[in-house]
Structure 1
Amino acid sequence: MSLYLEHFGLREPPFRITPHTDFFFSGANRGPTLDALIYAITQDEGIVKVTGEVGSGKTMLCRMLLERLPANVETLYLANPSLSRQEILGAIADELGVPTDGKATHSLTRALQDALIERYAAGKRVVMLIDEAHAMPAESLEEIRLLSNLESKANKLLQIALFAQPELDERLSANDMRQLRERITQHFNLAPLKQDDVASYIEFRLRAAGYHGPNPFTDAAVKQIANLSEGLSRRINILADKSLLAAYSSGSHQVDSAEIRIAAHDARFTPLRQPAPFKAKQLLLGIVGSGVVALLLLGAFNLGSLSGQPAPAISEKPRPALESATDKPVAKTFPPLRPVASSNAEAPANIRFGQLTRQHFAQYDSWIESAPRQHYFIQLLATEASHTGEIEGFLARAAQVLDPAELRAYRSSLSGNDRVGVIYGDYPTREAAAAAMLALPESIKAAQPFPRQVSRLH
C-alpha cells in the first residue's frame, strides 16, 4: 500500500503499472479504438493487429477487450509469446478442452477444427488474443497464419488479435512474411498521449482512486511529465507515483517541478528514439558537394556572358495569391479532395475500406461539391488510412448516436501521409459548429472533436 494514500485522501493507489480495468482511460482515442476492436472481432474481420510502443497501454486494452466482448464470444488468451508451433496448438487445445493424447500436428489441427465447428454451430465465436506478438518465433507466426485458415463455408472459425510493439511491423515487412501480412485485415495503433491528454489522464486516475480535492499536479508538473514520459502511460504512472511520494515526504499536498525532478532522477528513463550520431565527414562532403554545384552554375553563367549568349534563365512558377477565409468561393481554384469512394474498386496501397467507410466517402463527395468554403464542420476523427478497422468501427458507433446522413469520410495526403478523416455537420459559422460540438454525446466527445472550416479540406 502506497505511503501517501491517507495524505492525499486516496482510496487506492492511482498509478499502478499493472493493468487494472477500473482505471481504463477512454480519452486519446482509446475508447473508440476499443469499440472498433470489438466491432472488428464480432464482424468476422480475420486477423486484427494492435501496435504501440512499450508502455503505451496495449495490455490494458487487451484486458478491456476480454471484459467487454459479448457473452457469445469465447476468448483464448496467450500471454507467453515464446511458445513453439506445437505449444501454441497445445495451449489452444487446453483452452478448448480438446485432449491432445500425443497427437501429431495435423491430427491436433483437425481436432481443434472440429471443436471450433461445434462452437460455431452453437452460435459462439472464438477469439484468440496474443500479447507481445512481436516476440513470437517465425514458425509460431506461420502457425497463426495457418490457424486463420480454419473456416466454415462463410465464416472464420477462429478470430485472432495480435498485440505487439512496432517491431512486429518490421518483421511483417519481410518478404517471407507476406502471406501472414496479407491475412491482417485491420490495423490499429496506440499513439502516445499528447500534453492535454496527459493532464486528463492524470486527473482521471486520481478521481478513479477516490481523490476529491483540487488537482495536486500543477500545469508545470504536467508539462514536465508529458515531456519526460513521451506520452507513454506506463511512464506517466511511474513519474506521477514517484512525485506524489516526493510531495508526501516533504509534507506538501502539491506536486510541482521540484517533485517531478526528483521522480525523473529516480526513474532514469532513456529516450524512445536515440538521436542519430553526428557525422562530420558526411556533413563536410555535403558542403563540398554544394560548393562544387555552385561553382559549376557560376561557370555556366560566366561562359554565357563571355560568349555573348544570354545566361540560362531560372524558371520560377507564379505563386497563387493568398485567399482570405472569409472570401467568396472561387470556382475550381482549389479542386476538392477525391477520396476513394468506390465500393467495388480496391483502394491504392492495397487498403480495403469497409462498407460503411465507402458509403461515407460517397457522402463526402456529394457534399463537398456544393459546400461553401466559409462554412464549418466538426472533425471527429483523423487517422492513418491503413487503420481500416478503427475507421469502420468509429463510423458504426457514431451512426448509432448521430445523424448518419451528416457523417462523412474523406481521404487526404496533404500532411504527407495517407490519412482518413471523419467529419460531421455543416454550419454557417464557427460559433454554430462549436455549439453543436458541445451537444455531442459523451462517447463522441471522448475522441476530442474540434471545429474546422471547409476551406481547409481543399
Structure 2
Amino acid sequence: MYHDHFGLREAPFLITPHADFFFGGANRSALLDALAYALAREEGLVKVSGEVGTGKTMLARVLIGRLPPQLRAIYLADPLMDRRELLAVLADELGCADRAGDTPHRLLRAVQEALVADFASGRQVVLLIDEAHAMPADTLEQIRLLSNLESERHKLIKIALFGQPELDVLLDRPDMRQLKDRITQHFRLDPLEPDDVAAYIDFRLRAAGYRGPVLFGHAAAARIARDSGGLTRRINVLADKALLSAYARSAHSVTAADAQRAAADTQTRADRPAGRRPPDSGRLALSALVACVLVGAGYLLGRHLPGDAGTRPHMSPPPEPAAAIAASAPPVETQASSPAVREPAAETSHPTPTEDALEALLARSREWTGTAPGERWFIQLMSVPANRADHVPDYVRRAGRAIDPQQLRAYRTDTPAGAQIAVIWGDFADRRSALRAVDELPGWIASARPIPRQLRSLRTDG
C-alpha cells in the first residue's frame, strides 16, 4: 500500500526470511563467517540457538549461499519426522531413494554409500536442521549416528542444528549427552541491542529500494527497540505498522507517535510486566488504527487528510482490522480504547475466532487421521510450536487459495521440546505419488521443504 509513497520497490518488513534482507550488523556477519568456517573445517556438529524471532532461519538460508563450493547443503525446515523418514528424505536428496529399501537399516546403508560417492568426487554434504528443538529424541539419536559416518580420516556429513533455547535444555538431558559431546561449536544468536535497531530498520528500507533521508526518527526507532525487545521479527511487524501510520498521515517520516500506534495495535511490549496495563498515552483506539487503511475515504481519527482524497481508491474496512493493517504480520490481539470509545469489558475465557478456527480444523482433521488406512501418504507442509498456533488458520486460508482446501488438515503432537501444531495436505496411495505432488506445490509452500509422510507414522507421534 505505501510502497510508492516512500519510493520502495518491495515490502521492507516481511517476516518471511529473504537473503537480500540479511542484516550483517550486531555481529551477525561475524557469526555467519564463523559458522561457514566451522563447517568448512573437519567439524562434525555445530549448534546455533536463539530466542523466537532472532533470525535463525534467515541465518541458515544465507549460510547456504556462503558455503564453499565443495560443500553441498541439504536444508530441513520441518523436524517433525521419525528416524526412517529422516533417512528417506536424505536418500531422496542424495538421489539414492530408488536403491534404498523401506527399513532404517537399508536406508542408512544407501545414504552412506551416496555420501562415500560424494566424498570420492570431492564433495561433502552439510545437513542444516531448522527448529531442531522440536525434533523427536529418537530422530536426534539418528542424527548422532549420522555424525559417526566417516572415511578413514574425514567426516562424510557435517551437521548444523538451529533451534530455540529449548534445544540447549534438551541437550542437557542425560540421554542426550552422547549427542551433546559431538557438538564442537556452540553459537548463540542474541536479540539486537537498542543502538542496533535503528541501523537494522534503515538497512531493511534501503534493501527494499528506499533512497531518501533517514525515515524513522530517533524517538521512533527507540520506541520500536523497547517494544520489540530487539527481536527482529517483532521489529519487522512494528516497523511495518508504523510506516502505514505515517502513510495515512501523508507524512514522509515516521515519528514516535507512529511507533506508539503500532505498539498499541500489536501489544508486543517485551518489557511490560505481566498484569500491568500500559499507560493511557500508549494506547490507541482500534477505530483509529482501522482509519489508517481508510485513506481513500480521506479521514484519520475523524479529520480529513491533506490532499485530494478522490485521487486514491476507496477501501472498505475489512472484517478483521488488525490483519488488514499488517497483512504480512502474524495475527495479534488488538485492544480498543480512546476517550470517544467505552473502555472494553474485562477479559473473559471465551475463545477467539482464531482459536475456534484452529479447533474446528483439528476436529475435522481427526476424522481423516483416525479412519484412513495407515498405508496412505500425506505431505507435511509446516509446523509451529503450540504457543504460535495462531499462525495456523491464516496459513491454511492462504494455502487453500493455491491448493485443494478440502485436503488441508492439521494435527497436534508432543515432542521433547513441547507441543507442536503441524499442517498437512493430501491423501496419496504411495510415496511416489506424494513426491510428485510435492514437486507441483506453489513456490512459497515448497520453500519450507515439505516432506511426504505415511499416516502410520503420524499415529505414533503422540
The equivalent residue for 1:289 is: none
Deviations 1:202-257 (A, max 9, x none): 11111111111111211111111111110011111111111000110111112112
Q: How far has the Cα of 1:274 moved from its partner?
A: 6.8
Counterpart of 2:21 in structure 1 is 23
Residue type at the aligned position of 1:41: L
1:199 corresponds to which residue? 198
Distance in 1 (CA, whole Å) between partners of 2:271 and 2:137 is 26
Is 1:51 matched with 2:56?
no
Q: Which residue of 2 aligns with 1:404?
A: none
Alignment of 1:101-120 (within 5 A): 101-120=100-119
* Equivalent residue number for residue 231 of structure 1: 230
**For 1:34, what is the secondary structure of its paired residue?**
helix
Cα deviation 1:90-147 (Å, max 9, x = unaligned): 0000000112553321222111111101111111010000010001011111111111
Equivalent of 2:69, from 61, 65, 71?
71
Structure 1 residue runs of 4+, over 6 Å off? 272-277
Contact residue 226 and residue 269 of structure 2 kept, 8 A: no
TM-score by length of 1: 0.58
TM-score, normalised via structure 2 length: 0.58
Aligned-partner residue type, residue 32 of structure 2: L
> Using the alignment, how far apart are the partners of 1:49 and 1:22 within structure 2?
24
The C-alpha deviation readout for 1:169-198, integer Å capped at 9, x for no partner, is: 011111111001101110111111011111
1:9 alignment counterpart = 7
Name the SS for the 2:185 alignment partner: strand
User: Which residue does 2:144 correspond to in 1?
Assistant: 145
* In the alignment, structure 1 residue 83 sits paired with structure 2 residue 85: no
Change (3 A) 1:186 1:85: same
Residue range with higher mean Cα deviation, 165-174 or 8-17: 8-17
Q: Which residue of 1 aligns with 2:327?
A: none
C-alpha change, 1:12 and 1:97, in structure 2 (3 Å) is same
Instruction: Tell me by how many angstroms 1:276 deviates.
Output: 11
Structure 1 residue aligned with 2:36, among 33, 38, 42? Answer: 38
Instruction: Tell me the alpha carbon deviations over residues 307-342 of structure 1, each in whole angstroms, 9 at most, x when there is no partner.
Output: xxxxxxxxxxxxxxxxxxxxxxxxxxxxxxxxxxxx
One-letter code of the match for 1:230?
A: G
User: For residues 294-373 of structure 1, what are the structure 2 equivalents within 5 Å?
Assistant: none
* Partner of residue 367, structure 2: none
Change (3 A) 1:137 1:272: farther
What's 2:163 paired with? 164
- In 2, Cα distance between equivalents of 1:75 and 1:22: 19
Please give the alpha-carbon distance, in whole angstroms, between the structure 2 residues aligned to 1:208 and 1:199: 14
| Residues in 2 aligned to 1:30 and 1:129: alpha-carbon distance in whole angstroms | 18
Counterpart Cα distance in 1 of 2:172 and 2:240: 38
What residue in structure 1 maps to residue 370 of structure 2?
A: none
State the alpha-carbon separation in 1 of the partners of residues 183 and 39 from structure 2: 12
CA distance 1:272–1:140, change in 2 (3 Å): farther
Output one character per residue of 1:41-65: Cα deviation in whole Å (capped at 9) or x when no partner: 1102111101111110101111101
1:265 shift after superposition: 1.8
Output the amino acid matched with 1:90.
A
Offset, 1:88: 0.3
Between the aligned partners of 1:179 and 1:261, the Cα distance in structure 2 is: 49
Matched residue, 1:428: none
Change (3 A) 1:273 1:91: farther
Question: Which position in structure 2 is the counterpart of 1:255?
Answer: 254
SS for the counterpart of 1:44 is coil
Aligned CA distance change for structure 1 residues 272 and 124 (closer, same or farther; 3 Å): farther
Q: Distance in 1 between matches of 2:102 and 2:118?
A: 21
Q: CA deviation at 1:268?
A: 2.1
| Counterpart code for 2:73 | T
Name stretches of at least 5 consecutive residues in structure 1 with no aligned partner.
278-458
Query: Residue type of the partner of 1:48?
Result: V
Aligned to 1:214: 213
The alpha-carbon distance between structure 1 residues 271 and 161, as it changes in their structure 2 partners (threshold 3 A), is same
Match of 1:187 in 2: 186
Question: Does the 8 A contact of 2:7 with 2:209 survive in 1?
Answer: yes
- Amino acid across the alignment from 2:169: E
Query: In structure 2, what is the Cα distance between the partners aligned to 1:11 and 1:176?
Result: 51
Q: Which amino acid is 1:147 matched to?
A: L
CA shift, 1:38, in A, is 0.6
Instruction: Tell me by how many angstroms 1:14 deviates.
Output: 1.1
- Where 2:184 maps in the other structure, the secondary structure is strand
Q: Could you tell me how far apart the structure 2 residues matched to 1:250 and 1:156 are?
A: 59
What SS class does the counterpart of residue 75 from structure 1 fall into?
Answer: strand
Is contact 2:71–2:123 with CA below 8 Å preserved after alignment?
yes
Q: Separation in 2 of the partners of 1:158 and 1:229?
A: 38
The separation in 1 between residues aligned to 2:130 and 2:271, in whole angstroms, is 21
Q: Percent identity?
A: 58
What is the letter of the counterpart of residue 22 of structure 1?
D
For 2:187 and 2:36, locate their aligned partners in 1 and report how far apart those are by CA, in whole Å.
12
**Residue type matched to 1:134 in 2?**
H
In the aligned structure 1, how far is the partner of 2:96 from the partner of 2:209?
45
Deviation at 1:271, TM superposition (A): 3.6
Aligned-residue Cα RMSD (Å) equals 1.7
Indicate whether 1:173 and 2:168 are aligned: no
What is the match of residue 90 of structure 2? 92
- How far is 1:275 from its partner? 6.4
Letter in 2 for 1:209: A
- How far residue 273 of structure 1 moved from its aligned partner, in angstroms, is 9.6
Q: 1:273 to 1:227 in 2, by over 3 A?
A: closer
Query: In structure 2, the residue corresponding to 1:187 is in which secondary structure?
Result: strand
Contact 2:202 2:215 in 1 (8 A): no
- For 1:121 and 1:28, the matched residues in 2 are separated by 39
Find the residue that maps to 2:97 and give its secondary structure.
coil
Greater Cα radius of gyration, structure 1 or 2: 1
**Residue 154 (structure 1) aligned with residue 153 (structure 2):** yes
Between the aligned partners of 1:225 and 1:139, the Cα distance in structure 2 is 41
